[in-house]
Structure 1
Amino acid sequence: MSRPQEPHRPFFPFGNPLKMVLPKGSNLSPKLRALLNNFEEALAERFRKLKPSDREDVLSLTWMRFAMELLCQTHTDIKTIITELELPVCDWDDKWIDVYLDNSVKLLDICIAFSSELARLSQGNLWLQCALHNLDAYPSKQLVRACSSLDGWRQHISSKNPRLENCFTILNSLTGTLNLPKVKNSAKGNVLMRAMYGVKVLTVFVCSTFAAAFSGSTNKLVDLQVLEACLWADAFADVQAYVNGEIRNIFSSGRATVVKELEAVQISVKKLHPTIKDGVGVGVDPTEAEAVQNSISDLGKRAGKLSQGLDLLTNQVDDFFQILLSGRNALLCNLRVGGSVFDPKDEINNVQGQIVR
C-alpha cells in the first residue's frame, strides 16, 4: 500500500513544452493541414471517450480494455498518416528512426510485462474454481478444502510480479522523450512529429495507469502538461485529472486494489472465508445455510466476471503487441531494401516466431 503522495507538479521533460515552437499553419498545405487536423480531432474524441461517466468505472477491466482498444486504434492511425504522407524512409531523420525503434522496443517490453501480470491473475482463477467446486454441494465435508483454496487464492493475488518492476523505469524513459522536435525544411516531417507526439502522450497515459493498477502503487503516476496548441490538449487534461485523481483517492482510502472486478472478488472471499473456515456452517439452520449459499453464488458470478474481463483485456494487449511489432518490422524491412516509403501495413511472415512470451 503506497503512502499518500505529495502534490504532483506538472512534468516538463525538456523545459516548458508550452514554449516549444510549433510549425506555423502557413507552412502546411491544405492537404497536410487537413491530415493533421483530422488525426488530432480523432485523438481528442478518444480522450473524451476515455473519461468514464461513473467514477466506479475507473480502472475496471472493461475500461482498461477500452483504453487499450483506443491505443491500438491510435497507433494504427499513425501508421496510416506515415503512409499518406508518402515520406520515404530515406527522407527520415536518423533521430526519428532511432526514437521510433527505441520507443517501440520499450513498449513491447511493457506489453510483455502486462501480459505476464494478466496471466498471473488468470492463474488465480484456478484457486477460485477449486473452491467453488468444493462448495458446489454445500453444506458438505469439503469446506476445509474450499477454505484452503481461498487461502491459496489470497496468497497468490497478494504476491508481486517482478516483471512489473521495470515498467516504471521504461515509462520514465518514454516520458523523458515526450517532446516535439523542430523539423527544418520539411512540412511533412512537422506533421509526422506532431502526430507522433500525440500518440506518445496517449501511450504514456494509458500505460502509466495500467502500471499503477497492476503494481498497487501510484508513485510513478505521471501528470503530463502538454502543448496547448494541440487540438486534443483540453480533452487530455480533463481525462488525466479525472482518472489520476480517482486512482489516488482509491489508494489513499486504503483499498487493496484499484482493479474493480478483482476488488469485487476480494470482498466476496473476505465475506465467505470466515463462514466456512474449519468446516463451520455444516448443520446450520436453513436461514444461515441460505445466506452462505447466496455468498457462494455471489463469489461464482464475480469470479466469472473477473475471468472474462482478464481474457478480453489479455486479447487487447496482445493486439497492441502485434501492432507494435508489425510496424517495427515494416520499418526495418524498408530500411534493408533501400528506403522505400514506410508502409506499416506490410506483413512480415515470421512475426509469430519473433514474439517472446
Structure 2
Amino acid sequence: MFFSCVNPFKALFPKKNNACISPHLLFLVNKFEISLTASIAELVPKDDDEDDFLTYSWMIDAMHSLCETHLGFTTVMTTDVDLPHVSDMEESLIEMYVDISSKLLDLCDAFTSELYRLNHGNMFLNIAFSNPEEFHSSHLDRWKQHMASKNPSIENCGKVLRSLAESLNHHYHSLYKKMTKKEKQYEKEKVLLRALYGVMVNTLYIFSVFAAAFTRSSKNLLHLTIPKEMEEEARWGQAFVELQNMVKPKTRNTPLSERFGVIRDLEAVESGVEKLYAAVQEGCPNLLMMMEPLKQSVKELSERYDLIYKATRCLWDTVILARDAVSERLLT
C-alpha cells in the first residue's frame, strides 16, 4: 500500500539507473539513514535545558547511538553478497573502514583509561570516609593532586581526531571522484561510500566531544564540513549540522574548571570536597554530617563512571565485530 503511488527509493537515490544496486540493499541503506538521522537528532542539546549536555547521561546515550550506527553500517556493507566478487572500489571502502576504525579503537582505549583514572580519584575519598575519626585534610589533598594530574593517552586525542578527519575527507573525495567518472559502473559503491561517510563523520564528531570534555579544552572539538553533494543527498546531513551548531556554543560557554573539565556530574563532588576541606581547616566539629552528602555524590558519580565505561567498551566490542564482518566480505 505504501509503495502504490511513489517509489521512495527515487527520492533517496534520484539517479536514472540503479540497475547495479539490489532493491534489498537500497531498502537497508534507506533504513540505515533514517536510523542515523534519528540517532543524531536525539543527541542535539535543547535550547531551554543547559543541563542536558556534557553529562554522563548524554555520553552514555552517545556511545549507545554509535553502537547502533556501526551495527547498521555492518548490515548494509555485508548484505549484498550476490555479486561474484568484490569490486576494486568496494575493496577500497572496506580498507578505509578498517584503517580508520583501528584508530577509533585506540581512542576508545584512551577514554576508558581516563574513566578509570577519574574513578580512581573516588577511591581516595572512599578511603577517607572509611575512618571518619582519623579524617585529615591530607586525604583531600591526595584527591586534588590526583584529579589535577594528566593522562598522556587522553592528551593526544585531539591530534588523532584531526588527522582522522583529514584522512576521511581525503579518502572520500578521492573515491567519489573515481566513482563519478564511471557512474553506472559504481552506483552501488557510491551508496556504500555515503553510508560509510555517515558512520565515520558522526563517530569522529562525538569522539571529539568526549575529547573536549576529558582534556578540558574546546580546541579538541572538531568542526566537520559535509561535502556539498552529501548535504543534498544524505538525509542525516541536516541533523548533523544542527548538532554541531548547537554543541559548539554550549561548549564554548561552559566554564572550564582548571582541574575538572566540563563534565557537569563532577561539580557536586568538587563542591563537596571544597566545603569539607574548608571545614577541616576551620576545625568544624560536625564533619560527619558534612561528609554524608559528599559520600552520596561520590557513590552516584562512581555508578555513572561505571555505566559510561561499559558503554564505551560496548562500542569497542561492536567496532571489532564490524571490522571482522566487513573484512570477511573480501573473502566472499
Tell me if TM exceeds 0.5: yes
Alignment of 1:120-135 (within 5 A): 120-135=117-132
Q: CA deviation at 1:190?
A: 1.3
The answer on whether the counterparts of 1:37 and 1:231 sit within 8 Å (CA) in structure 2 is no
The alpha-carbon deviation at position 307 of structure 1 amounts to: 0.3
Distance 2:245 2:255 in 1: 16
Partner SS state of residue 43, structure 1: helix
Query: Partner of 1:43 in structure 2?
Result: 36
Cα distance, 1:92 vs structure 2:
4.7
Deviation of 1:34 after TM superposition, in Å, equals 3.2
Unmatched segments (≥5 aa) in structure 1: 1-21, 283-288, 341-357
Distance 1:125 1:311, change over 3 A: same
TM-superposition CA deviations, 1:191-222 (whole Å, max 9, x none): 11100111111101110000011111111211
2:231 matched residue in structure 1: 228
Partner of 2:140: 150
Measured in 2, the distance between the counterparts of 1:85 and 1:255 equals: 50
Q: 1:343 aligns to what?
A: none
Q: What does residue range 300-319 of structure 1 map to in structure 2 within 5 Å? A: 300-319=295-314
Alignment of 1:207-356 (within 5 A): 207-226=207-226, 227-229=230-232, 230-251=234-255, 256-277=260-281, 280-282=283-285, 289=286, 292-333=287-328, 335=330, 339-340=331-332
Question: Percent of aligned pairs with the same residue?
Answer: 36
Alpha-carbon deviation of 1:225?
2.4
Query: Separation in 1 of the partners of 2:243 and 2:152?
Result: 30
Alpha carbons of 1:87 and 1:212: their partners in 2 closer, same or farther (altered >3 Å)? farther
Contact 2:215 2:261 in 1 (8 A): no
TM-score (norm 1): 0.77
1:203 and 2:221 correspond:
no
User: Using a 3 Å threshold, how does the CA distance of structure 1 residues 186 and 306 change in structure 2: closer, same or farther?
Assistant: same
Q: 1:330 to 1:36 in 2, by over 3 A?
A: closer
Query: Residue in 2 aligned with 1:113?
Result: 110
- AA in 2 matched with 1:46: S
Aligned to 1:286: none
**Map of 1:14 onto structure 2:** none
2:32–2:72 contact (8 Å) kept in structure 1: yes
**Matching residue's letter, 1:328:** R
Gaps of 5+ in 2: 1-11
How much is the aligned-residue C-alpha RMSD, in angstroms?
A: 2.3
Q: Deviations over 1:141-165 (max 9, x none)?
A: x232xx2221111111111100013
Q: Report the residue type matching 2:223 in the other structure.
A: D
**How many residue pairs were aligned?**
300
Q: 1:237-263, CA deviations, whole angstroms, 9 ceiling, x for partnerless residues?
A: 112121222111114687942111122
Check the 8 A contact 1:269/1:299 in 2, yes or no.
yes
Correspondence for 2:165: 175
* Distance verdict in 2 for CA 1:52–1:202, change over 3 Å: same
